[in-house]
Amino acid sequence: MRVGFIGTGSMGSILIEAFIETKALLPSQIHASNRTFDKVKALAKRYTGLHAYPSNVRVVQRADIIFLCIKPLEFQTVIDQIKDEVHEEHLIVSITSPVEIKDLERKLKAKVAKVIPSITNSAGRGASLIMAGERLTERDKDVLFQLMKSISHPLWLDEKYTRISADIASCGPAFISFLLQRMIDAAVEETGIPRDKAVTLFTQMMIGFGALMAKNKFTLESLQERVCVPGGVTGVGISVLEREVDDMFHKLFKATQLKFNEDVELVQEMFYKTST
């Protein structure tokens, strides 16, 4: 199996590194290109045997599965570059949420899927989201699922749930990191605890929390009940959170959905204003 990556920016490089480090792929199985060639050359230097190209066309010519790890408004340009080299047996995998499978199927002869990875996949953990186009065979689905299973917990998903699922699985680590950073800041400011100690405590708390969830020892609700004893400090803290959080996450998801809808409209305009 030869796997290509067009785009080796943040998420493209995370996927490449994760596949290699989990031994799902050998460096020699990977063919990659990037608009800034120095970035992909750096990956090839780090992982001996990885094939780096200045041309997206070369990736398509050499690979069986091709991940498109590019920004939404770069798709038409890349499609125009590669479409004559794409054939029916290629599996094109977009990792860009506002680019819809049906549009890629209209523009390319290949089988098309969408995968939404997460930064947590770089640790071989966390979910990845998989959506299949109509042309994928059961074997194609299994190959893609097994590839993503090597670095994540893959979930098949209806494309209409792309945004909210990506908010949880892909954006979620950044949201949680922000909240934890605010908790650390408050702990330091309110009590004077050394910052490095607070960071260690919060980090180890999150590692332990993840382990509890992974072992299915508690649900979120039962964990709160177990820790929150009657008349205890935890209950006082929960009361503050109930009062202050209110509809914050409703606002968050409304805002991300609005941005997603705007991005989808821009992609549609790009595709069909320049349609050939």
- Dihedral pair phi/psi, residue 6, rounded to 5°: -100, 105
Q: Is 216 annotated as a binding residue?
A: no
- Dihedral pair phi/psi, residue 116, rounded to 5°: -110, 105
Q: Is 261 annotated as a binding residue?
A: no
Q: 68: closest CA among 119, 141, 4, 152?
A: 4
Q: Is 8 annotated as a binding residue?
A: yes
CB 53 within 8 A of CB 31: yes
CB 31 within 8 A of CB 4: yes
Exposed e or buried b for every residue in 141-153, given b needs 16+ CB within 10 A? bebbeebbeebbb
Q: Is 11 annotated as a binding residue?
A: yes
Please, which residues bridge with residue 55 across strands? none
- Dihedral pair phi/psi, residue 213, rounded to 5°: -65, -40
Q: Is 77 exposed, middle or buried (0-12, 13-18, 19+ CB in 10 A)?
A: middle
Q: Is 12 annotated as a binding residue?
A: no
Q: Is 148 annotated as a binding residue?
A: no
Q: Is 231 exposed, middle or buried (0-12, 13-18, 19+ CB in 10 A)?
A: exposed
Q: Is 6 annotated as a binding residue?
A: yes
Task: List the binding residues.
Answer: 6-11, 56
Task: List the binding residues for NADP(+).
Answer: 6-11
Task: List the binding residues for NADPH.
Answer: 56
